Structure 1
Amino acid sequence: MTNAERAGRAGARGGHGARRAGAELWRSARGPVAVGLLVLVTGLVVAALAHRPAAGLLNPEAARPEGSLALVRLLRAEGVAVTAVRTSAEVAAAGPDTTVLVTAPRRLAAHQVDAVRRSAANLLLVDPGREVLAGLAPGVTEETLFAPVDTVPPACALAEPAGPAELGGVLYAAAAGVRCYPGEAGAALVQVTEGARTITVIGTPVPLTNDRLAEEGNAALAMRLLGGKPTLLWYLPMPEAAPVDQRRGLLELLPSGWLWAAAQLAMAAVVAALWRGRRLGPVVGEPLPVAVRAVEVVEGRGRLYRRSGDRGHAAGALRAAARARLRARLALAGGDEPAEVLVDAVHRRTGRPTADLRALLYGAAPTDDPALVRLADELDALEREVRQR
């Protein structure tokens, strides 16, 4: 072999060894690399979720079309302190120098409506619904529920500086107060006075959203309604626990019709059970699926006696069977005669002492298995003796 061939073989062995070492290194590093990639992906997902932009209708921090971040910035630029609140207690504590915007009045529970009513601040309700209107805007009623949102002239001194605005949705009527932006039946904006505060109701959130704020007189109307006081509470209602004295159980929350329906269903179930019920007929004998020989039953019972160690019960069964056969052999009347009658009859037939016969037929239970076997043998021997004489 030449030197060149030796060098080639050595190089080949070296290359194979390098590939082998690389494969072993990759196998040992796969676990840490996978864990590192998993941690990296998890961190990216958490970071993406944590920095999601705010969203939601009339959300004061949302820059999306349905949000109200643009209006909040306009109000703050005019010196209005805008604060987002989520509890009715914060609204109830508001004073007369505050305006409260209730973004979703239909979400308010009864105790939350009571808390908002206790506030001394001016209120702006956006599409409140009949129940909230009755609690917060007395005298205001819904007239049209599905009016189209369109550009409507103000037709009132309150909104005259703002000019036409995009309103609609729900139209209202008020027994006393200001009615603006009229439609075919009702007005899209009404304002009533309660004591020292004003309560304004509009039927749509459109003029307060980022998407439509710059259209028509929407921005001017929003600033006029929300910028009149130095403080604005932007109320985003959230579910709250009811006071203890107002909490009700499950049965109290169910409509009365549900209880009557449950009672009727129960009566129907009873009637159906009586109708479909069947009286028990006579006992029907059925053949056993397997025929068991009598000797197997006896052997099985004997094994049970042996397993339980109940020699007294086994001895009693042997003696009772032997006495029955002896009575039949000696033609005695029945099994309820005194022991002396059977003992005397066997004594006359066999001549055995009565004391031995009494001990054999009515004696104590054996104390061990050999004694039990001896008892069985002695009983068999006595029966054979009676038969032979």
Structure 2
Amino acid sequence: MTDTATRPDGSSTAAAAPRRARRWIGWILVVLLVIGAASVVLLVSQSASVPFRGGGDPDGTGEHGTLALAEILRDQGIEVDVVRSRTQAVSEIRDDTTLVMTDPYSLSDEAVAALIEPANRTVFLSASSRILDLLDLGEGTTASTSAAVTASCDLPELAEIGTIHPGRLFVPADGVTGCFPDADGNAALLVDDSGGARTVLIDGSRLFGNGYLAEDGNAALGLALLGQTGHVVWYVPSLLDSDLEAQTDPSLGDLTPDWVTPAIVMLILAGAAAAVWRGRRFGPLVAETLPVTVRASETMHGRARLTARAADAEHAGAALRDGTVRRLARRLGLHERAGAAEVADAAADRLRVPRTAVQALLTGPLPASDDALIDDARRLADLEASVDAAVHAERGAS
């Protein structure tokens, strides 16, 4: 005797237990997925809150950061202030200040001019075509050299630098001094002393990075460019300190008329109402005894209609022959899997007629038209009737 109870709906508590267990397992998996997703979001948000120290950043410890150069300046007794706001940078500029920055991509032309205007000495450690044009220093060039070059200019602070392997080269404008030139006169360092202030520009991404500072005369060049005054204000451009207004492309909603959105909402509500009104309502499951029995006549009529609709005389003829062969095999006492040729031979022996005639009927070419199909059907029916008569006659004689 078992302790399985029966519910009013006919199901047992033993059968319901596995369903409850699966339901709880499903909910536990959902909770675990939610917790995992929340953990991923938390980790991403925490990592996003950590400021990125990219190339040229004096606090960057990576290969392209410039922390090593900043520390060399501090070791020489030079005061280095790293600022990330142009307002703070302007407020800290003094008469003995060297203003240092990479390409201020996040600032407008007006903001760049206002930033460098109070400084007597400005050094750009990278530059774009915009800065070259704005400060009228020259223009960029696609020329590059892997050969070591020397200063080859009259600036005394560069006399003891030695050789460097420059990165980007420039074509100096009129009145601008070009240092560290290649064979074609393109310079790696541009110096402009016009207007009572000095502006220096060099591509220092592969010269002053932490991973390259010990090569050639890179460290000496960095100290010569940034260590001529007792105070360095190192401005780090960023999008957070930008004065440029973001311009976005118009969205689809901006390009469409005002009535489109309400119309779409009304169509969605109408579709939902129609689905509720005319949609199928699923009731409780109905138990049905299986397997369902389908009468052979229904299958036969269905297949016949399909064959007639397709006008496939050959397929219909093959079906008629297959049925005749199976029925003749049973009547002649042959195996149920006997082939058409074997059945044809047995039928010919029983009827005492030439085998070729019966074989041509059961194994010959299939009918290619409706008329040929009708003729084959009539001949097959006659063959079955003849075999039935012969079998009954033999049984009656015995």
Q: Which structure's CA Rg is the greater one?
A: 1
- TM-score using structure 1 length: 0.48
- TM-score using structure 2 length: 0.47
User: Which structure shows the higher strand fraction?
Assistant: 1
